Amino acid sequence: MHQRTKIAVAVALALNTLTAFAQAQAEAEAPQRVEITGSRIRQVDLETAQPVLKMTAQQIQATGLVTVGDVLNQLTSAGPPAFSKGSTLTSNREQGGQYIDMRGLGSQRLLVLVNGKRWTTTVAGYTDMSTVPTSMIERIDILKDGASSIYGSDAIAGVVNIVLKKSMQGANLSVYHGQNDKGDGKNSDYSFSYGAGDEKASLMFGLSHTTSGVVWSKDRDVTATTYGPNHPTDGLGVGQWGRYRQVSASGAATGVNQYLNHTGTWQNPNGVGQDSRNPASYHAYAAGVDDLYNSTQQMMFESPNSLTTMFTKGTFELPMGVRFASTAMFSERNASRQNAGYPVNSLSQSKYPVYIDKNSYYNPIGASVTGGTGADAFFYRRMVEMPRVTDSKNQTVHIDASLEGDFTLRGLPWSWSTGYNHNAVTGLSSSTGNLNLINLKKALGPSFLNSSGVVQCGTAASPISLAECTPFNILGGPSASTPAALKYIAANGQATYGSTVNSITADVSGELLTLPAGALGVAGGLERREVRGYDVPDQFAQSNLTTDLAGNATYGRYTVKEMYLEANVPLLKDAPFAKLLSIDLATRYSDYSNFGTTTNSKASFMWKPVNDLLTRGTWAEGFRAPSLNDTFGGGSQSYDSYLDICDSKYGQTSNPTIAANCAKAGVPATFRQRNATGAEVTAAAQTPVPFNTGAGNSNLKPETAKTKTLGLVYSPSFVPGLSGTLDWFKITIENRITAVGVAYTLSQCYLYNVSEFCNNVTRDTTGQIVGLSRGNTNLGTMETEGVDIGLVYRLPRTAYGQFAINSQSTWVKSFLTKSSATADWYDSNGEWGSPRLKSNLTLDWSLGNWSATVTSRYTSGTKAACAFGANVECSNPVSPIGAYNKIGAYVYTDLSVAYATPWKGRIMVGANNVFDKAPTVNYSANSNYSGPSSSSSVDPNLPIDRFVYVRYNQSF
């Protein structure tokens, strides 16, 4: 109530002031004042102390990309995107969306605005950039420093502000289609927009439909196996034919180890299994390649999705100079991902074990075969008949409405606004391909051959009707499966999720007084924001009764009350060595219901010693509040992929510290990690048992940050059209909120001897990890330092056309992390995912109705994993940071050519990766090494092929 009263008073005062000075405003003849990204003060001068990169609608279309996310992910300051299209094994709700990772600091540390207002976020705190239709965009501003004092939480790595068109006259239709040279990865975009109005009222409407096509891993040799063509049989998983063992007193596997005889090979898995009831139909299991399965054959390399968006924006002049503005957007995203059939075994869910009953007709060591009492059988088998498919339907709603106006106070211009901002994300995730363990237990329970020659559940004395139970010959493999049995044991999973953010704002800005060097500009405002969300798996998943990963429900809510002040103080103007000197000061106070208060401030300066040279700098405090999932997440199981640091052959026991700590933990000196098939690993592999991951932590504190920037902008008057920028940045994040990974947990325990991580690892007597917990925590510090370099030159017009050059580069000096206050710093700069240098060079040309753009994208070489030990494909087997393989620099070239027709049309054709640079096998790209590809060792964020496209725009 108190907050609402403050807002009401602020609005009332603004309206009363507006009435008193309406006549003065009408008579004033002042230049137009606008709000610039990074400041709430409206001003005439567009130069700012903050480094802001702008992208126009024309530049966006010239990339040949159809979504905001794809475009921004190519920025030199952007790291690998979160939730790649290739991460099909991930269970997050964000899959299918697009999330920008600025500076490599994480997508949750970037604030996304649309027209200066917060956009939608998920329960985990991510903002999907693809929901904003490109047809409605005027430009995109990328602020490359911290802005928590202006905008609040999340603005640590920077701010992306998508500025929509203010008005439109007439209609525009756009049609786009593109695909890889191989014919897959088909993308399309259809959009229609219409606008009408005048200075008193205007309305715009937009409708778009975008699709991204699937790319299957099996369709290219380089992606057809887990570790590429040079190691086709490494990474093979549990086979599709039955394997059985005996059951120990504790319920684990013991004794015999037999695998069904079959035709076919790992390359051609379509075969026939022998009679699974006959013990003579089996051979001793030794993890031979033909008894394993290439799961990549059933997996997507890039998953498909589609997005439909409706968008409206309107402004209306009301009496007394008041303006009403509103934006509304609805989008629906449908995404799908497929993975190989589940590798089920008797202890897939240890809390609900399932064995082949000793009285099952299909048990080769059961009573019906041996003639005695028989024994239960422990089984293993991949269900290739039932690939795992997850479909997600995600709906996003954004509505904002505001009243705003201008007035004069003591003859100086002022502006006010008050508004409401509503964002909501809701979704439904459905899955097939997992097994209903209750029904599976019945299907593998007692069964017999009835008088009709049909296998039936139960016993002859106590039969169960086929309508109630269908027996399943799980050891017989795919050739023995029946549609009825597969339908009976199938589990259809479902989860619902949603996030809502509502905020009320009131802002006022203007010129407080006039100083000798100019106007003292100020801005201030209040905001009340409520955030709530949920993520609820179905009851089967929560109860560990399917082979799907068990998870708990997430429910959370918090509120925040904020106020901010900003002042721009001009100090000198047209003085010797100071054509301009000003400082900008800002502070923001936030009161969160779940963790308390925080105050963050910022100071920046702008100095022009001469007209041609601008220097600028910033010191800013920042923070990121824990997301709903960080604090309230229910957690879930995860079959993590990792390479055990204590493995005597492929681990890191050559390091004396690691060897000593592994021995101290009771790991045998000859220990070899085993994968889900029971075979000794040759590279990182998936754990045979699920680990506990992602649980929320109610004790989390917000992340805090310090951002420092110092830059130069040089625009020599003797070279018209030329401008160069050089901006140094350094960002330090404390109390880092992170979901700890397996590799990190093992490294912190066995390399750095951090006890809190060692306590989360459980090993059996052989040394195998049988339990590991990893969740969210405030974990140490992160720091990055580097330089952004820009060069823009619009050459004089010639008879051969108008040429323009635009070069943007980011050089990173260091990217440091440390796990605790006492741990050593670790610099990952230059490792895969953190290149030292990225550079984009664009050449634009236009002549009459013709135009063309050529872009060259460069990324420096990086250090990647040596997957098969230091002696195999490892350029640097000995180094202070451990063995690594150097991946060379790469360059991709994009080309587009456009022609403007006499009938207000424009056709564009182009190709990205025009020289068809082939993909590179990079083991760090594999999810087993925390990379973005679940299926292979090729980076799905890089071009897999030459991509060609055509776009046609028509204005009416």
Q: What is the mean pLDDT of residues 165-191?
A: 93
Q: What is the pLDDT of residues 323-353, one digit of tens each?
A: 999 999 999 999 999 999 999 999 988 889 9
Amino acid at 470: T
Give the H or E element holding residue 204. Answer: strand 201-212
Alpha helices in 717-837 (DSSP H): 742-750, 755-758
Least confident range from 373-382, 422-431, 636-645, 812-821: namely: 636-645
Q: How confident is the model at residue 9 (pLDDT cuts 50, 70, 90)?
A: very low
Span 914-934, pLDDT tens digits: 999 999 999 999 998 889 999
More confident residue, 50 or 85: 85
DSSP state at residue 884: B
27 pLDDT exceeds 60? no
Q: Which residue has the higher pLDDT, 693 or 294?
A: 294
pLDDT band, residue 900 (cuts 50/70/90): very high
Look at residue 730 in the predicted model and tell me its pLDDT. Answer: 96
Given pLDDT bands bounded at 50, 70 and 90, which one contains residue 490?
A: very high
Give CA–CA dist 731/103, Å, rounded. Answer: 9
In this prediction, residues 926-952 reach a mean pLDDT of 94
Q: What is the pLDDT of residue 878?
A: 74
Q: How far apart are CA 481 and CA 365, in angstroms?
A: 20
Instruction: Please give the mean pLDDT across all residues of the chain.
Output: 89
pLDDT score of 904: 94
Name, in order, each residue with C-beta under 8 angstroms of 527's C-beta and a sequence gap of 6 or more.
152, 503, 504, 505, 506, 560, 561, 562, 563
pLDDT of residue 508: 96
Q: Where are the alpha helices (DSSP H) in 28-101?
A: 57-62, 68-72
Residue 595 has a pLDDT of: 86
- In this prediction, residue 558 carries a pLDDT of 94
Tokens at 11, concatenated: 């609005």
Q: Is the pLDDT of residue 789 over 50?
A: yes
Q: Is the pLDDT of residue 880 over 70?
A: no
Whether 28 shows a pLDDT value over 60: the answer reads no
**pLDDT for position 541:** 73
- pLDDT for 19 beyond 70: no
- % of the chain at pLDDT higher than 90: 69
| 929 or 358, greater pLDDT | 358
Confidence of residue 6 (pLDDT cuts 50, 70, 90): very low
For residue 802 the two structure tokens come to 């108008």
At 43 the pLDDT is 67
> pLDDT for 564-613, tens place per residue?
999 999 999 999 999 999 999 999 999 999 888 999 999 999 999 999 99
- Which has the closest alpha carbon to 498: 93, 935, 911? 93
**pLDDT recorded at residue 753:** 87
The share of the chain scoring above pLDDT 70, in percent, equals 95
Count of helices and strands (H, E) across the chain: 13, 51
| Segment among 43-57, 133-147, 492-506 with least mean pLDDT | 43-57
Q: Which of 134, 114, 97, 127 is nearest to 209 (CA)?
A: 134
Stronger pLDDT, 873 or 952, i.e. the higher one: 952
Strands (E), 436-516: 447-449, 455-457, 490-515
Residue 116, pLDDT > 60, answer yes
pLDDT digits (tens, 9 = 90+) for 901-915: 999 999 999 999 999
Neighbours of 726 (CB within 10 A): 16
pLDDT at 807 over 90: yes
Q: Output DSSP code: residue 767.
A: S
253-272: b (≥16 Cβ within 10 Å) or e: beebbbbbbbebebeebeee
Report the pLDDT value the prediction gives residue 64, as an integer from 0 to 100: 82
Do residues 150 and 68 make contact, with C-beta atoms less than 8 angstroms apart?
no
Distance CA(808)–CA(788), nearest Å, equals: 7
In this predicted structure, the answer to whether residue 464 has a pLDDT above a threshold of 60 is yes
62-83 pLDDT, tens per residue? 888 888 888 888 999 998 888 8
The helix/strand/coil state of 241 is: coil
Residue 4: pLDDT band with limits 50, 70, 90: very low
Radius of gyration of the chain (CA): 31
Give Cβ neighbours of residue 870 (< 8 Å, ≥ 6 apart): 654, 877, 878, 883
Phi-psi region of 152 (alpha: psi -120 to 50; beta: other; left: phi over 0): left
